[in-house]
Amino acid sequence: SANIYTLMDSLDGVLADIMADIDSVFLFAPNGAFYERFADAENVVVVASENTVDAPQFVELPIEFTNIRDRIRFGIEGAMETDLVAEGNTVACFGSIFTGEVDSAIRVRVNEDMRSGLYDLFTNSRADPNVIRDVFEVALELGRKGQKGSPVGALFVVGDAGKVMNKSRPLSYNPFEKSHVHVGDPIVNVMLKEFSRLDGAFVISDSGKIVSAYRYLEPSAEGIDIPKGLGARHMAGGAITRDTNATSIVLSESDGLVRAFKGGELILELDPEEY
């Protein structure tokens, strides 16, 4: 039992180190009971898909990042953008990795390098944040299921559709030419998955209207830096976001990952099997 007490003292010391001289506490998707334990604390920021605890300081998570690093990165970036924290602040993050209960505590020092563009991808893109989230969900589901059991690749260009259309040409007839269908509609999502078997990009407007399928993008690829091993689809997806104000979401046929580009930069990489 002496060993147990020694261990408890050590753990208390570690937790004390995490909480020493912090400027803010970040709670990731807390339940009401856990949030109540911080009722008297100052500078508590809740990061979650919805503000179920009515926290006055709140950052909305557009998708449930399974990677804890992405989740924390998004929360801190959102808090920086909304002036809830500043460079040099130290924050203690509490969240769940395994159980749905709070099971992790992480101490993070805020610096400008944390502005990766992840928060900006969802909140400051031309397209509606819900549209970007809906396209991610289509790409992730397509990545999980593939097409008739085989892996597929797909490219979705979201926002600034007029300019994207001007920097691309049709590969085939456009099945969406006279339609007014929007991404997020379950029937439309089935159509997108069906058409993803064929080459070319989907072009989606700021409001989520499917403008076209089968577009061959023709941006300048000069100066676009994409990870080794990724091909023309990723190069075109990255380049079109530098030449326009669009966001590209690309499903890789080779490694099965979903990637997002904005401003010519790779901003996010997700594994569909984790979602």
- Give per-residue pLDDT as tens, 201-242: 999 999 999 999 999 998 887 777 787 878 889 999 999 999
Residue 2 in this model has a pLDDT that exceeds 60: no
What is the structure's pLDDT at 118? 83
Edge-to-edge order in the sheet of strand 154-158 = 168-170, 210-217, 201-204, 154-158, 247-251, 258-262, 265-270
Going by pLDDT thresholds of 50, 70 and 90, the confidence category of residue 198 is confident
Whether pLDDT at 257 is above 60: yes
Least confident of 38-42, 76-80, 140-144: 38-42
CA dist., res. 120 & res. 190, Å (int): 29
Distances (CA, A) of 60 to 28, 47, 64: 10, 6, 10
**pLDDT confidence of 245, banded at 50, 70, 90?**
very high
Amino acid at 261: F
pLDDT at position 76 over 90: yes
Nearest-5° Cα angle at 232, 219 to 179: 65
Exposed, middle or buried by CB within 10 Å (0-12, 13-18, 19+), for 208? buried
- What integer best gives the mean pLDDT of the chain? 87
| Position 129 confidence tier, pLDDT thresholds 50, 70, 90 | confident
Three-state SS for 90?
strand
Check if the beta carbon of residue 250 is closer than 8 Å to that of residue 259: yes
Choose among 245, 246, 247, 242: nearest CA to 225: 242
pLDDT at 100 over 80: no
Rounded Cα distance, 18 and 21, in Å = 9
- Identify the band that residue 254 occupies on the pLDDT scale cut at 50, 70 and 90: confident
CA distance 238 to 252: 13
Kindly indicate the confidence band of residue 108, based on its pLDDT and cuts at 50, 70 and 90. Answer: very high
Nearest residue to 234 via CA among 218, 251, 246: 251
Closest CA to 131 of 48, 192, 172: 192
pLDDT at 66 over 80: no
Q: Rounded to the nearest 5°, which phi and psi values hold at 142?
A: -65, -40
Residue type present at position 205: S
- Give 247: exposed, middle or buried? Use CB within 10 Å, 0-12, 13-18, 19+: buried
pLDDT at 190 over 90: no
Residue (of 110, 90, 143) closest to 274 by Cα position: 143
The pLDDT confidence band at residue 5, using thresholds 50, 70 and 90, is low
- pLDDT score at 264: 92
2/10: higher pLDDT: 10
